[in-house]
Structure 1
């Protein structure tokens, strides 16, 4: 029996074929996709394009959707079928794009956007850490609220962990872009 085949954009193929790229969000794939593209894309159009591609891969059973509907914490995981599928790489001109006059200008713009996103994530991380610390202080002051405060504390810690992951991913892409 021959392997099933599916057409896929060259950049998306390169990203999702990476063995370390698993359990990802739409945002993580979009960031990697935008960082890899040699052409600029309208961010909203690129997001729609990436989301459509993810949805198509989920529908074909190549990616598994993890998380609750309408949640910002939805993650995608490669299925067994993913590894048994032959990917037919399409040229990058198949995706909606607008050409850039020079690659260094795009790289500079991408680096600025990534640095800004990094700063935002770092501020969010500090906020989340402060929130979890405050829940601990409140628990010490009001032990009778343990159940409620403990669940809020755990949510804040989980959020901190996600933000750390985002920061790590952004720093990784930034270091690659600066080379």
Structure 2
């Protein structure tokens, strides 16, 4: 699921071959919230863009000269099928919290932290493979296990978000 404002920015037909900072600038302009920390917003957007890279909807490229990361839409990119988040931490905080609700929130935060760690692990295996392709036999099983773990964690997150959404 994608942040609705990020989706709004990148689904524009003329928005292609962009950086995380380009999306952040548009995001901040649309949000008009002076309390937002640009650095935190950039990290969140980068995470959202990586989701689309993993789906094959965006291509990530790093320039060799400046080391700048750019994203381009692929043929698979379909603005009509962007799934946006319908639940946010603001909406969660606004709901009545009971014992079950609080436990669900704690589990959700825990699973999201595990997912970030697992994504980092799979990205590290991929980077190592790109640097040292001769280690493919050692790296590939670990990479696949990390990716499988990502999928399981995403399922757990979705289940908890669905339960929270039903209870609000």
| TM-score calculated relative to the size of structure 1 | 0.44
| TM-score calculated relative to the size of structure 2 | 0.46
The structure with higher relative contact order (CA 8 Å, sep 6+) is 1
Q: Which has the higher strand share?
A: 1
